[in-house]
Structure 1
């Protein structure tokens, strides 16, 4: 099995050392490089083409959010970016999602959560923990509750089958593939296929974008 290649970007050497020990000891994960600044992370990403970049937010020269934005915009780099920060701040969270990050994790998470997060984003999925989902819903769902104006469904929604639209609503509620499979009485592989088709038809990158899209377009209504 080809190992998941990881780049560590953090301006604190001790933090990088800790991540290196945690991740490097896992089968199937290889640390291929490190960066101490945002600009260095950008250069190393282009040079090494890692599968996953563990990206700190506050770094010299260029912060991790701007580095993420540029990495995601570079078509020659297909790395998934996992934001890791000490600061549990909504502005960081939403700017990270807007920049194209595939995951957002606090540094006080357990080693097991870090390992799982790297594997999740490396698989092409997005790390969308329930707590993060709730904050996305609070941000994008609030206007829906207050509005009584008739809503015209976006044209892209008409390209989805009834089952795909149902899966989109469950994704927007923060359910995992396994939870959706249980609710719909289908296999997890079937759900994964539906999610992939939803993302493809709507032109979305990952589950995080699907949640934001659903609430921005009033496809999912909190409590509905």
Structure 2
């Protein structure tokens, strides 16, 4: 990473009527913490969500917390992971998720940073991975197969293609910290909310 400090980013959603989210990436001595919140309005539905993800130094997910506030009231999900085995916060094991090392929270693009950093792909290289996919606002959890292909560095950004069998294929650009700048059809980064030059913008 470009510095050992907190890295904030703000995105506007481009796939819904109104959507704005902010996330931060914070290094810690034993890993990384990703936190984000988003408010979304589309087709008469409105909700807000906040989530946190903790990883180890290899970017493998260890803990996930997702909170949602909607017309149905508040809801909360907690997951823990160890060596690719997953459980709910109450200890209930989730055998369908064994072998997943990343989580994809369907809110802001912040969790795309996890496979980008963990895989360390070379230009032209791709990898197929299984991830824990958390739907927002329902907080349902399931296993999803995803592919990341790194194209290489251009115009100050790294470029990837993301694909999964259900949602299709999209282009991503990320900054030097692995934070998404533009996610085709989903989200676009707004100007850095902090001007101290930590490298979290293009």
Q: Is the TM-score greater than 0.5?
A: no
TM-score, structure 1 normalization: 0.23
Task: Pick the structure with more helix per residue.
Answer: 1
Task: Pick the structure with more strand per residue.
Answer: 2
Whose radius of gyration is greater, 1 or 2? 1
Greater RCO, CA 8 A, separation 6+: 2
